[in-house]
Amino acid sequence: MIHPTALVHPSTDIEDDVAVGARTTIWQRAQVRTGARIGGDGVVGRDVFIDAGVVIGNAVKIQNAALLYHGVTVEDGVFIGPGAILTNDRYPRSITASGELARSGDWRVSPIVLRHGCAVGAGAVVVAGVEVGRFATVGAGAVVTRDVPAHALVAGNPARRIGWVCSCGRPLVDANGDPAPAEPAHYARDTALHCPACGRAFSYVPDGQTVEEASGPRTEIPA
C-alpha cells in the first residue's frame, strides 16, 4: 500500500506488494521490488534500487544510486549516502561447483542491519552479514567487513575504527579537546568525552568496545 500523502515519481518502478509510508518521497527511476517496506517521512533518491523484502524504517534518507539488496533492514533515522552498496551474499558465485548457473537454493542470504540513526557515507560498501550500530558513521568509500559498534567512526578498506561520533554526527573529543581515541580498552569507564557541537557527554565502555552517552546535563559549549 502506498500512502496517499507519499510522493512517488511516475518513472519509479514499483512492483506488487510494496508499502510506502506517509509523506515519503521517491524520486526518478528508483526501483522498489516486491515485498519491500518503506516507512514514513523518508526520502528515496534518484536511481535507487530497493530489493525484494527490504525493510526501511521512518525518517530514512537514501541518496541517489544507492543499492539495497534482499536481506537488508534499515531502522529509523538512518542516512545512506549516494552510490552506497549493501550486499547480501558473503560467498558470491555465478555458478555452482559443478558449473551450473547458481539458483536461489544454491546460496544463503547474509542479512545486513543498519541500526537507528547511523550513517553510511557516499560510495561505501557494507558487506553481507554486517551490523552497523546506533549512531555509528561509515566514512565515504569505506568497505565494511565486520560489525561496527554504536557511535563508532570507521573508514578505509577494510574499514577500521578511527574515532567516535555523537548522536548529532560530530566527532567526540576528550577533556583537552583532542579527538577521542579509537580504542577504549586503555581508558577507564568514566573517561569523559563530549561533543564540541551539541554538548552531549559520553564515556568509554571498555568491555563492550564502545562508548555510551552519559546521563545528566549537557556540557556547556562556548558561543
Indicate the pTM of the whole model.
Answer: 0.92
Say if 102 falls within a structural domain: no
- Asked whether residue 218 carries a pLDDT value surpassing 60, the answer given is no
Q: Which domain holds residue 155?
A: 1-93+108-165
The pLDDT score that the predictor gives to residue 104 is: 84
Q: Which three cell numbers stand for residue 137?
A: 558513521
The pLDDT score that the predictor gives to residue 150 is: 93
Find cell 554486517 and name the residue: 130
- 148 & 188 share domain: no
Task: Report the range of poorest mean pLDDT among 30-34, 117-121, 153-157, 209-213.
Answer: 209-213
- 159 & 186 share domain: no
Boundary residue ending a domain (149, 165, 181): 165
pLDDT band at 118 (very low <50, low <70, confident <90, very high): very high
Alpha-carbon distance of 129 to 65, in angstroms, equals 22
φ, ψ of residue 221 in degrees (nearest 5):
-105, 120
Which is nearest to 50 in space by CA: 59, 39, 41?
A: 39
pLDDT band at 207 (very low <50, low <70, confident <90, very high): low
- 183 & 84 share domain: no
Alpha-carbon distance of 193 to 150, in angstroms, equals 15
- 50 & 83 share domain: yes
- 178 & 138 share domain: no
What is the total count of domains within the chain?
A: 2
- Asked whether residue 49 carries a pLDDT value surpassing 60, the answer given is yes
